[in-house]
């Protein structure tokens, strides 16, 4: 909506109060920054109220926030569109031993490409990417790139509905997370870097799909790196 309706959002905003409510950080998306810049160029007064954000709430996993690198996004793959630029960011973070927070795709009030081509504003049903789908797409890209960034035995953490009473955390290999059901949205995933702390292992072990296997991989590939 922001991309296609920014003019509509700002219409008469110089005369009446207009509120734009987002999930997460107000400046977590470049489109939100663009909206503010448009308001500024039109001399529309504006104010920003910070919101709870997965960028900091991901600390619920026990992973230390100063061990995180660049945040990346994962979009829904299609038969003809399988962007893998996220892999390069994962590679950079992994080279420094840093964790990577991966934000998962959300499709709300979006027309299909077919309807857009025909000029019909018919919206598809809402879709929210799951941890399992994200992990599966990561494994598929790893098969194509083959640089060892997100292989089957790489450790990761999936989270769902962070901050709610139904919050869920699951730790395991990407192969395990590709088969995990974390329930309703919203989901996010963290690929673990290898610069870890014992407290992170101790915290996550209680959420492991299979604790003994999780701790074995940690000791072999992550401990003391």
* Residue set of the binding site for S-adenosyl-L-methionine: 25, 28, 53-54, 104, 162, 187
Q: How far apart are CA 27 and CA 138, in angstroms?
A: 26
Query: What's the CA gap between 147 and 194, in Å, rounded?
Result: 15
d(CA 74, CA 137): 9
Contacts of 164 (CB under 8 A, 6+ apart): none
Q: What is the DSSP annotation of 133-145?
A: HHHHHHHHHHHHH
Going by the annotation, the residues of the binding site are: 25, 28, 53-54, 104, 162, 187
Q: By the 8 A CB rule, do 29 and 55 touch?
A: no
Angle CA 128–130–136, to nearest 5:
130
| 143: CB partners within 8 A, 6+ apart | none
Query: Two tokens at 105?
Result: 């795709």
């Amino acid at each position: 909506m922001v991309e296609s309706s920014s003019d509509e959002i700002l219409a008469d905003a110089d005369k009446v109060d207009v509120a734009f409510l987002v999930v997460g950080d107000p400046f977590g998306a470049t489109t939100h920054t663009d909206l503010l810049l448009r308001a500024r160029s039109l001399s529309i007064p504006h104010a920003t109220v910070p919101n709870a954000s997965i960028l900091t709430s991901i600390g619920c996993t026990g992973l230390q926030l100063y061990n995180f690198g660049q945040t990346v996004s994962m979009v829904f793959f299609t038969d003809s569109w399988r962007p893998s630029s996220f892999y390069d960011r994962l590679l950079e973070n992994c080279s420094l031993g840093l964790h990577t927070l991966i934000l998962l795709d959300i499709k709300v009030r979006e027309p299909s490409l077919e309807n857009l081509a025909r000029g019909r504003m018919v919206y598809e049903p809402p879709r929210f990417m799951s941890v399992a789908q994200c992990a599966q797409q990561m494994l598929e890209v790893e098969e194509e790139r083959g640089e060892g960034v997100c292989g089957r035995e790489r450790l990761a953490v999936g989270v769902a509905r962070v901050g709610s009473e139904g919050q869920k955390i699951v730790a395991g290999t990407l192969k395990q997370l590709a088969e995990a059901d974390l329930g309703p949205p919203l989901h996010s995933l963290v690929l673990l870097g290898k610069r870890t702390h014992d407290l992170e292992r101790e915290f996550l072990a209680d959420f492991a799909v299979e604790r003994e296997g999780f701790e074995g991989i940690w000791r072999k590939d992550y401990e003391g790196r």
